[in-house]
Amino acid sequence: MQLTLIRHLPTEWNKKTWLQGRRDIEISQVTEEFQKGIAENQRLLKNLAPFDLVLASTLKRTHQTAHLYGFLPETEVLLDELDFGSFEGLPKEKLMEHKNRLWIENPSGLVLGESLKSLEERIVLFLDKYQDFHNLLLFGHGSWIRALLSYKKYGHINNMNKITVGNNSCITLSI
């Protein structure tokens, strides 16, 4: 199976480095820089098409991003961002002050609004659910994408927070 993942375009909370998690935040006005990034990614997507399915999480920022790319995605709850619990709406540095060692070295041992073990289980469920598809385009979130990349490379999510995935990043991988 080939997965092409696009992290949603930035929101005002991304710009402030606030953790969004399950908060349903809209994307910001798209800057010229991100318009160029969309055009560049669209050229890549043309070479990867056709897609069996185009999916986005339940959160509007992924659907808004997909629409700017010209897609009407199906909604998939398994793609939802990590629930950061009481850290949602706070700067990421607050999470780092309280959970830095676990966040970096052993995130699967953390429980925020949901356990990171649950995030890993959602990734496994997603891969099982869509295993018979050959080419998927996914509009998703930073933690989910980083966790998938760690899971694919290492067999677990514990390296997810050593990986950087910027807004509007486009990543293609084979599973």
CATH number of domain containing 141: 3.40.50.1240
pLDDT digits (tens, 9 = 90+) for 103-153: 999 999 999 999 999 999 999 999 999 999 999 999 999 999 999 999 999
Contact 88, 21 (CB under 8 A): yes
From 106, 52, 59, 51, select the one nearest 79 (Cα to Cα): 59
Rounded Cα distance between 118 and 139, Å, is: 20
Q: pTM for this structure? A: 0.96
Question: Could you list the residue range(s) of the whole structural domain that residue 11 is in?
Answer: 2-174
Q: Tell me the residue ranges of DSSP E strands in 57-174.
A: 74-75, 135-140, 170-174
Q: How many distinct structural domains can be found in the chain? A: 1
3-state DSSP percent of the chain in helix, strand and coil, to 5 = 45, 15, 35
